[in-house]
């Protein structure tokens, strides 16, 4: 069922469908992590119904591009853009992200943001009967290496890839970052609660960046009673 929700406290609306995945804390954490300048050219890949561009658009003067391959989710994103009168600020493309290197010139963007499917597909994978949900969760249409290939091509020299992902895949992320000359410069570990293992990370990798890594203060999402910590609630209040 289609619904219109407030996009947290960002003074925007977002169109969602309760039969599909709605935007989550992952997107909010990624946006909060981003270090952005007004003149940045940005593209968001695996954009879903466009929460990240909607939250970022007030931070830059240039149009933000976004890409979502699934037609049903793309159409929700389009509705959100129109609902917020942001057609001049956000352009959402309904194409395979791997085709972006044909649409845009090499060295076009200062920042690529990405909240991709987290899980590899193998014999033990439990796929959802809903194909749209499966494509959002599993690497059926795009994988981790694809993201690094695209970023290597489209980013300007020293441009940044900011991505949220599962902590368990950090070893692959490091390996691919070195393979594609996207050196990780900042990383932040996300923990569900105190005394629990990290389940998510956010990384910032620079194309042809110099060596040197900063590990930021970790984020703990919930108090022991399950409520969001004050730091998380502050992120929800937007800019």
Which CATH number do you get for residue 215? 3.40.50.150
Strands 182-191 and 214-215 come out as: parallel
Pull the structure tokens for residue 112: 């690529």
Of 29-43, 91-105, 110-124, 201-215, the range with the lowest mean pLDDT is 110-124
Cα–Cα distances (Å) from 8 to 51, 76, 144, 146, 161, in that order, read 10, 17, 29, 31, 25
Of 33, 10, 28, 20, residue with least CA distance to 86:
10
Three-class DSSP category at 48 = coil
pLDDT computed for residue 2 by the predictor: 85
pLDDT computed for residue 14 by the predictor: 92
pLDDT computed for residue 81 by the predictor: 97
Judged against a pLDDT cut of 90, whether residue 20 lies above it is answered with no
Write down the mean pLDDT value for the chain. Answer: 90
Three-class DSSP category at 193 = coil
Given pLDDT bands bounded at 50, 70 and 90, which one contains residue 214? very high
pTM: 0.92
Judged against a pLDDT cut of 90, whether residue 134 lies above it is answered with no
Average pLDDT of the segment spanning 59-87: 96
**In total, how many domains does the chain have?**
1
Residue 35: which domain range? 2-236
Given pLDDT bands bounded at 50, 70 and 90, which one contains residue 212? very high
List residues bridging with 163 in a β-sheet: 114, 203
């Amino acid at each position: 069922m289609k619904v219109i929700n407030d996009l947290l406290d960002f003074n925007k609306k977002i169109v969602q469908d309760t039969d599909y995945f709605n935007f989550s804390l992952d997107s909010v954490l990624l946006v909060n992590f981003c270090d952005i300048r007004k003149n940045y050219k940005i593209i968001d890949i695996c954009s879903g119904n466009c929460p990240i561009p909607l939250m970022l658009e007030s931070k830059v003067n240039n149009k933000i591009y976004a890409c979502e391959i699934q037609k049903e989710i793309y159409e929700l994103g389009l509705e959100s853009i129109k609902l917020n009168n942001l057609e001049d600020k956000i352009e959402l493309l309904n194409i395979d992200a791997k085709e972006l290197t044909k649409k845009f010139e090499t060295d076009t963007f200062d920042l690529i943001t990405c909240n991709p499917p987290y899980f590899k597909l193998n014999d033990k994978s439990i796929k959802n009967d809903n194909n749209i949900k499966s494509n959002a969760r599993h690497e059926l249409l795009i994988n981790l290496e694809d993201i690094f290939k695209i970023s290597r091509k489209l980013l300007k020299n020293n441009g940044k890839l900011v991505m949220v992902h599962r902590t368990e895949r950090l070893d692959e992320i490091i390996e691919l970052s070195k393979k594609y000359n996207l050196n990780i410069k900042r990383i932040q570990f996300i923990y569900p609660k105190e005394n629990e293992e990290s389940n998510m990370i956010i990384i910032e990798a620079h194309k042809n960046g110099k060596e040197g890594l900063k590990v930021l203060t970790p984020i703990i999402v919930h108090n022991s009673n399950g409520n969001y910590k004050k730091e998380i609630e502050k992120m929800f209040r937007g800019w």
